[in-house]
């Protein structure tokens, strides 16, 4: 009997990390896994409850409803067998290239007879910064800022595959914490890469459109010269280079404009602000493709299933992984509210509530997309246009807010952002046979998640 392949997922509470656990385990991932540590009992009750989240699509509705009441030990989850995994394509319009199976993990001795067997015999080991999953289950603790601790954790866990979904993603704050951003996004990849190279393990890592300056006139390809314009972008680029130079077998997925039905992201911010304001002013001159974390996770699993079978590094390297098409943040905002079952026209001021302009700038937030903040007060570094907005009506807007296009220049932020974040995903398609769906299709799916 061969040992199962151990897949360590670092950053399991992030948008992508969370979806990765689900994609790797299929729907079998227990939000309240059976406890090994039941004896810990009620005094170990957790209190991490996400606030009730109301949206124009209904009272929502993140995965929080099912969260546990007690901290329980996370069990490593066996992955879907290939037969189950086949069904994955039905809810993820991801194409798969059928091709010859290659010998997997020779020295690891996973004697797969067909493609997918290596992955089917895996155990998934989640890790978070504080050692707890969002559902209250205990898991491995890995803080990427603690490089010695990271190395010790790898020695203890001895993973065969390290999927790093963790990152310092506060784009604006990084301008003030460059050392920390570089340690987490850059140096930590050196530790992971060196450990993997020493032990014959493989690394899957995520990077960003922010490695580019955004001045291109066509979609960026993987071999276009990076030229980050922010601390965050430079730190992520440093991670790419460090990993590439480590000698470890690796895949780096550059993604962009990540959102999900949970977590901190543009979609959730829009819905929250939409419930509070008559008018939202949204940047219209930054172009990219909104990409659901779930699409990234499912694509990762699809690719992993093939890549683990590769005996050599021919398909190692950088791949762009974003949804198809492009839009602006403003276009994305309009598309979000278009999908709400509510009229788009705001009420006239005569009806009682004057609509005040509320700027929706790309400010701080995670991973390089404009995660907006409701402007509470004007602030010297982020001058806001007139603000105000209607009173909240139990969190539910009777109508969608009016979306007003503004320019990046109208709302300066601490960190510069690329104006053009369009990534060419042709390499992923030709190398792994993955065809990525249009961003609008993806949005329909995520909105569907919110509504149900």
Q: Give me the active site residues, please.
A: 232
Span near ligand NAP by CB under 6 A; candidates 84-92, 140-148, 191-199, 337-345:
140-148
Compute how many residues bind ligand NAP; rule: CB under 6 A.
31
Q: List Cβ neighbours of 346 (8 Å cut-off, separation of 6 or more).
A: 278, 279, 355, 399, 400, 401, 402
Within residues 349-388, the interface with ligand NAP by CB under 6 A covers 366-369
Dist CA 310 CA 200 (whole Å): 13
Strands (E) located in 68-130: 72-73, 77-78, 122-128
Q: Does 165 bind ligand NAP (CB under 6 A)?
A: yes
Q: Least Å distance between CB 17 and ligand NAP?
A: 6
- Beta-bridge partners for 128: 141
Dist CA 141 CA 126 (whole Å): 9
Q: Does 258 bind ligand NAP (CB under 6 A)?
A: yes
Q: b/e per residue, 81-119, with b = 16+ CB within 10 A?
A: eeeebeebeeebbbebeeeeebebbeebebebeebbbbb
Span near ligand NAP by CB under 6 A; candidates 21-29, 36-44, 137-145, 409-417:
137-145
Peptide bond into 304 cis (omega under 30): no
In this structure, the chain runs to a length of 452
Q: Does 279 bind ligand NAP (CB under 6 A)?
A: no
Q: Does 129 bind ligand NAP (CB under 6 A)?
A: yes
Span near ligand NAP by CB under 6 A; candidates 25-33, 81-89, 162-170, 299-307:
162-170
- What phi, psi does 376 have (nearest 5°)? -85, -50
Dist CA 41 CA 70 (whole Å): 7
Q: Least Å distance between CB 263 and ligand NAP?
A: 5
- Closer to ligand NAP at the Cβ: 182 or 280? 182
Q: Does 169 bind ligand NAP (CB under 6 A)?
A: yes
Within residues 176-215, the interface with ligand NAP by CB under 6 A covers 184, 206, 208-209
- Closer to ligand NAP at the Cβ: 168 or 329? 168
* Site for ligand NAP, rule CB under 6 A: 11, 13-17, 129, 142-145, 165-169, 184, 206, 208-209, 236, 255-258, 263, 293, 366-369
């Amino acid at each position: 009997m061969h040992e199962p392949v151990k897949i360590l997922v670092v950053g399991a509470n992030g948008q992508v990390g969370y979806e990765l656990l689900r994609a790797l385990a299929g729907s079998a991932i227990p939000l309240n896994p059976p406890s090994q540590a039941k004896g810990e009992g009620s005094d170990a009750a957790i209190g991490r409850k996400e606030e009730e989240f109301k949206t124009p699509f209904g009272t929502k509705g993140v995965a929080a409803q099912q969260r546990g009441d007690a901290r329980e030990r996370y069990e490593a989850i066996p992955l879907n067998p290939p037969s189950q995994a086949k069904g994955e394509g039905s809810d993820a319009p991801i194409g798969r290239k059928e091709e010859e199976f290659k010998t997997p993990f020779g020295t690891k001795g996973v004697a797969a007879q067909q493609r997918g067997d290596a992955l089917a015999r895996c155990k998934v080991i989640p890790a978070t910064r504080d050692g707890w999953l969002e559902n209250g289950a205990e898991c491995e603790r890995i803080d990427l800022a603690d490089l010695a601790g990271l190395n010790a954790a790898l020695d203890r866990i001895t993973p065969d595959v390290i999927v790093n979904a963790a990152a310092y993603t506060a784009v604006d704050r990084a301008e003030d914490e460059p050392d920390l951003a570089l340690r987490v996004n850059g140096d930590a990849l050196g530790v992971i890469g060196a450990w993997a190279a020493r032990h014959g393990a493989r690394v899957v890592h995520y990077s960003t459109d922010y490695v580019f300056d955004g001045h291109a006139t066509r979609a960026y390809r993987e071999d276009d010269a990076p030229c980050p314009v922010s601390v965050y972008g430079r730190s992520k680029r440093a991670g790419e280079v460090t990993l590439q130079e480590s000698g470890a077998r690796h895949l780096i997925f550059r993604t962009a404009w990540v959102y999900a039905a949970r977590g901190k992201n543009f979609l959730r911010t829009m819905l929250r602000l939409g419930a509070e304001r008559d008018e939202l002013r949204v940047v219209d001159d930054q172009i990219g493709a909104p990409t659901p974390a779930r699409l990234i996770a499912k694509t990762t699993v699809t690719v992993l299933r093939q890549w683990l079978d590769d005996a050599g590094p021919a398909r190692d390297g950088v791949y762009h992984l974003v949804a198809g098409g492009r839009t602006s943040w403003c276009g994305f905002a309009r598309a979000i509210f278009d999908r709400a079952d509510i009229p788009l026209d705001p009420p006239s001021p005569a009806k009682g509530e004057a609509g005040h302009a509320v700027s929706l700038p790309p400010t701080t937030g995670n991973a390089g997309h404009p995660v907006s903040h409701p402007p509470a007060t004007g602030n010297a570094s982020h001058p806001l246009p007139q603000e105000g907005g209607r009173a909240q009506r139990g969190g539910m807007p009777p109508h969608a807010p009016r979306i007003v296009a503004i320019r990046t220049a109208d709302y300066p932020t601490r960190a510069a952002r690329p104006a053009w974040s369009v990534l060419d995903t042709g390499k992923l398609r030709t190398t792994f046979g993955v065809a990525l769906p249009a961003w609008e299709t993806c949005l329909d799916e995520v909105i569907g998640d919110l509504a149900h």
